[in-house]
Copies of this chain bind each other. A is one copy, B any other.
Amino acid sequence: MTETAPRPTLEAVAARAGVSRATVSRVVNGGDGVRERLVERVRKAVDELGYVPNQAARSLVTRRHDAVAVIVAEPETRVFADPFFALQLRGISKELTAHDNQLVLLLTEGRDDHARVARYLAGGHVDGALVFSLHLDDPLPGLIQSAGVPTVFGGRPGWSGETRGVVYVDVDNRGGARDAVRHLTGLGRTRIAHIAGALDQTSAVDRLDGYRDVMVDADPRLIAEGDFTPAGGERAMRELLERCPDVDAVFAANDLTAAGALRVLREAGRRVPDDVAVIGFDDMLPVAEQTDPALTTVRQDIEEMGRLMARLLLRELDRRPSDEPVAPAPSSVVLPTTLVRRASA
């Protein structure tokens, strides 16, 4: 089969360029403080030999890996129902790539995997971790914290433990929800319902809070709990229709939920937006643009969220080595949302 070509080492390059290993190392790592002539000679040798540094050897001494773990607790999340996950990953990947870091993906399925993840992090294979901490009282954040690895969370972690020093990136779920509901009131709607997401996730809780901010004295029967899925949206919409037949608007916790609600409304013969106005959240294009009617929704820039998470982490990693941190510790970031008007409200 393929001959396993013995990869050239620093030694080989040094020999070919007629310099010491140290000099080659310097050149390979930026070339500062090496005379131009030598730099060129070394570069040439590197090219001719097709030298690529052995990352394992390098890590062994530098204790850096230029690798970041992305941890996704998945089975219970909507990760596999919409493109959320992929977009976030794309943002992360772009940013990491731009800084020559690798992305190690850790998908976890329940408790069994937590130990594995903890071990992996404690094993010092990666320089930091990006974590999607999607559920209240998920033990994962605690485990990670105790592994002592710099970490940035995606979404405000709903975590009852120590929160100082916890860095996260989130969108302004509460503000976005307020905007959505205000838009509905601006339309003259008064019986505005909310279909919440899975309330063990902070995003769902925050959106509900935003709804309440505007609908201070809302009829509690106007609030139904969904689970971020179309099926959940359908169920909740049926409940609402039964409990409050006079409902004239719905703010759904996300686009998928809204899609389910739209279907039930159509079945029930309610016209959208004439009889009932509907707003979603996410602006998941494949969903929001395809519903009938097209969905008015609150847009969040998911890819940017991912990119930002990576950026904060990398900044922290750059900061750490020097015992006297020059740069300030990164703090959490909350991204704005924008209302996208389409046909449904």
Contacts and interface: CB of A to CB of B under 8 A. Distances in A.
A148 B79 contact: no
Contact of A290 (B5, B7, B120, B259): B259
A320 B4 CA distance: 10
A92 to B, nearest CB: 9
Given A53-B123, A83-B83, A97-B107, 15 more contacts: A1-B325, A2-B148, A4-B148, A52-B124, A54-B123, A54-B124, A56-B57, A56-B65, A60-B60, A80-B90, A81-B83, A81-B286, A93-B107, A259-B290, A260-B290
Interface in A253-282: 256, 259-260, 263
Nearest to A84: B86
A30 to B, nearest CB: 17
Interface residues of A, number: 58
Interface stretch (A15-23, A98-106, A168-176): A98-106
Interface in A97-140: 97, 102-107, 109, 113, 116, 119-120, 122-125
Interface string A229-246: 110000000000000000
Contact of A122 (B50, B56, B65, B94): B50
A16 to B, nearest CB: 18
Nearest to A86: B80
A93 B80 CA distance: 14
